[in-house]
Amino acid sequence: MESIAQSTGHRWKILFTGFISDAEVIALMTSADVLVIPSIYEPFGIVALEGMATGVPVVASQVGGLAEVIEHDRTGIFVHPRNPESIAWGVARVLSNSDHARWLTQNAREILHKTYSWEAVAMKTVEVYKKAVG
């Protein structure tokens, strides 16, 4: 990736970090203007949830688990996978309207708390056990 970035003249725009700790991930997400997840396969959207928790607007491909944790234009922006123009559109949508970006992150945090907080997950787990026991 670094050699591709270098050969296209974009190396100076990209930070290749290598391994970083969880604390560093949180700090980087918190300081970001947008979190872009251009996955072509994503079993579960944990990175999107982490971004939502740090309050960064999420732009992601509508694939796999991402489609389950993001609601388009309410908690994030969906883009077409393998489509650079679509990804650019999503990033521009977030960066060109700070009020909308703030609204997306507020909605995302509300949904995150209601759906993925320890309390919400515990309640869902109890319901599953109740159904299993009869």
What is the predicted pLDDT for the residue at 112? 94
Q: What's the DSSP call for residue 77?
A: E
Q: Would 98 be classed as within a structural domain?
A: yes
What is the predicted pLDDT for the residue at 3? 87
Q: Would 93 be classed as within a structural domain?
A: yes
What is the predicted pLDDT for the residue at 115? 94
Q: Would 113 be classed as within a structural domain?
A: yes
What is the predicted pLDDT for the residue at 51? 97
> Model-level pTM greater than 0.75?
yes
Q: Would 18 be classed as within a structural domain?
A: no
Overall domain count for the chain: 1
Domain hosting 52: range is: 32-133
Q: Would 52 be classed as within a structural domain?
A: yes
pLDDT in tens for each of the 134 residues of the chain? Answer: 788 888 988 888 888 888 999 999 999 999 999 999 999 999 999 999 999 999 999 999 999 999 999 999 999 999 999 999 999 999 999 999 999 999 999 999 999 999 999 999 999 999 999 999 98
CATH number at 38 reads: 3.40.50.2000
Q: Would 119 be classed as within a structural domain?
A: yes
SS3 track for 16-53: CCCCCCHHHHHHHHHHCCCEEECCCCCCCCHHHHHHHH
Q: Would 121 be classed as within a structural domain?
A: yes
Give the whole-angstrom CA distance, residue 90 versus residue 36.
Answer: 9
Q: Would 46 be classed as within a structural domain?
A: yes
What is the predicted pLDDT for the residue at 101? 98
What is the predicted pLDDT for the residue at 15? 80
